Amino acid sequence: MSLSSSPMNPTRAIFLSRASKTVMVASLGVFGLLVAVNNMMDYGSNYEFVRHVLSMDTTFPGNALRWRAVSSPVLWHIFYVLIIAAEFLTGAIFSFAALQMAQAVKAPAEEFRSARALVPVATALGFMIWFFGFSVVGGEWFAMWQSHVWNGQEAAFRFFMTMLGVCVFTQQGD
């Protein structure tokens, strides 16, 4: 029997859709938490990234935007700690949303809708980190796009686009 010829029970289809949404949100939670934990455990590696981006020392020679550079190690650490904290919070909110969704996966539609309410909040925070932080602040203000070595824009784009896609999917009805 082919899959296309066998009708799926509507209750099963709803369960599978909700379970899929829950697994995706949980994956984003693990991602955010893992990024934060990795940055804490290997603080020095990504601190160097933040230092180079903020100091603008690998942008084009003669760059007219270099007046924006931050040369204070204290500020480099503050920026980096704020990034780690926001990554952790993003992962925690996604994880909490996934837990609520898992608990409501077989519940009435209104309860599941309520359970997924934090997904846009976590997505917005992730968007602020990986779009605003990396693309706007890092990419444009600090001209990160000019660096061949310290440019995180492509990875950041993948992160926030994945979050946006999962958010849109999870907010769709059963």
- Could you read off the pLDDT tens digit of each residue along the chain, which spans 174 residues? 455 556 778 889 999 999 999 999 999 999 999 999 999 999 999 999 999 999 999 999 999 999 999 999 999 999 999 999 999 999 999 999 999 999 999 999 999 999 999 999 999 999 999 999 999 999 999 999 999 999 999 999 999 999 999 999 999 988
Output DSSP code: residue 104. T
* 100-108, long-range: CB < 8 A, 24+ apart: 101/18, 101/21, 101/22, 101/25, 101/170, 102/22, 102/26, 104/18, 105/15, 105/18, 105/19, 105/22, 106/15
Query: Which pTM does this prediction carry?
Result: 0.91
